[in-house]
Structure 1
Amino acid sequence: MFVHKIDKDLNLKLIQLEDCDRVFELTNQSREYLREWLPWLDTTTKVEDTKKFIQFCMNSYAENKSMNTVILLKGDIVGVAGFNEIDWSNRIAYIGYWLGKEYQGNGIMTRVAKGLTDFAFNELKLNRVDIRAAVENRKSRSIPERLGFVNEGCIREAEWLYDHHVNHIVYGMLAEEWKRTNEDLTN
């Protein structure tokens, strides 16, 4: 089973059916908080809905189309993150993530996004990583900004969010830029 160590406290583990109850519980505990920016909360109302999502993730991983993981903080599931899509022909990974409300504000997701970006470039040998976030979602946007991703522009009305469209900012990082950024940090 895939497990990727981020640091001494954080690991990413490929999402599995055994994670279903905890992922649903975490979703339920953070439902109103997550609903502000994630479009799937109203269709995830029972454990079976989360089970279907996990099965979809597992099938997509088996088909080499994505890689979704649970975020483990000291062994406890605190969120979900991964590559919602991997475009092998263009060598691009699209990072998506969410974190339970009580775990916000501790730098967890920045460390996770950094770990996923490292993995995309160093292990998967991809050329580009994208992160997209709603224009008004400052918390989510601060993650790629902190990591040095380039703001490449706005996609108008990119997502339907319950009763309105939201615009997305596209952040991109190229393998060569990431290499330079990390060399600068270590020198």
Structure 2
Amino acid sequence: MILKDDKVLLRAIEEEDAQILMDLINDPEVENAVYGWSYPVSLSAQKKWIANLNNDSTVRYAIEFEKRMVGVAIISSIDMKNRTANMNIKLLKSARGKGIATRVVNLLIQYCFEELNLHCLTANVIERNRGSRKLWEKLGFLQDGVLRDRIYKNGKYHNVIAYSLLKEECYERNW
């Protein structure tokens, strides 16, 4: 399913996106700010990952801005019984600071609550990633807690902040 507003487009990830995805994953700033993979990643490994994307509990989108791919948005751990899912977003450095992340997360929220009829969305952020924390808080996500020493990066452990947004809280936002 394609999601879009007047500035961004979320579409299926295609093999042609492998180079940009590899650049994103191999960006030390991105790798340092998020968790979930080890880098560096080769182009062939990235193409293999794209070929095996089918997964009932995860939806992955290529983010397009001004007709070029600038990142990836992921809805993971989709649990239809409990009506929950986790969200995350990764942008190329050149795409940051332009309001793209806010637009993308708003599209994901709308899709999750209106199309999937989920009740609760979560996001997990490394504590030191102030930009990401600001994004989720601006969009109405509340801090549920701190997962202490959850991530090991660059020779030390880091806390993760757990956020959530309930469907009824979202509609109170008047978005």
Please indicate, yes or no, whether the TM-score normalized by the shorter chain is above 0.5.
Answer: yes
Instruction: Find out whether 1:13 has 2:5 as its counterpart.
Output: no
In 2, the alpha carbon distance for the partners of 1:126 and 1:82 equals: 15
- 1:89 corresponds to which residue? 81
Deviation by residue 1:60-94 (Cα, 9 ceiling, x = unmatched): 1xxx2110101000220000012022122211110
SS of the residue corresponding to residue 28 of structure 2 reads helix
Q: Which runs of 5+ in 2 are unaligned?
A: none
What is the TM-score of this pair, normalised by structure 2?
Answer: 0.91
- 1:154 corresponds to which residue? 146
- 2:47 corresponds to which residue? 51
Deviation by residue 1:18-53 (Cα, 9 ceiling, x = unmatched): 32123224444xx12212223425241x10121233
Q: Which runs of 5+ in 1 are unaligned?
A: none
In 1, the alpha carbon distance for the partners of 2:121 and 2:49 equals: 23
In 2, the alpha carbon distance for the partners of 1:55 and 1:90 equals: 29
More helix by share: 1
- 1:24 corresponds to which residue? 22
- 2:39 corresponds to which residue? 42
- 1:3 corresponds to which residue? 2
**How many equivalent pairs are there?**
174
In 2, the alpha carbon distance for the partners of 1:172 and 1:102 equals: 28
SS of the residue corresponding to residue 93 of structure 1 reads strand
Deviation (angstroms), 1:168: 0.8
Matching residue's letter, 1:12: L
CA 1:52/1:166 → structure 2, altered by over 3 Å: closer, same or farther? farther
- Structure 1 ranges of 4+ moved more than 6 A: none
Contact 2:151–2:157 (Cα < 8 Å) also in 1: yes
Deviation (angstroms), 1:158: 1.9
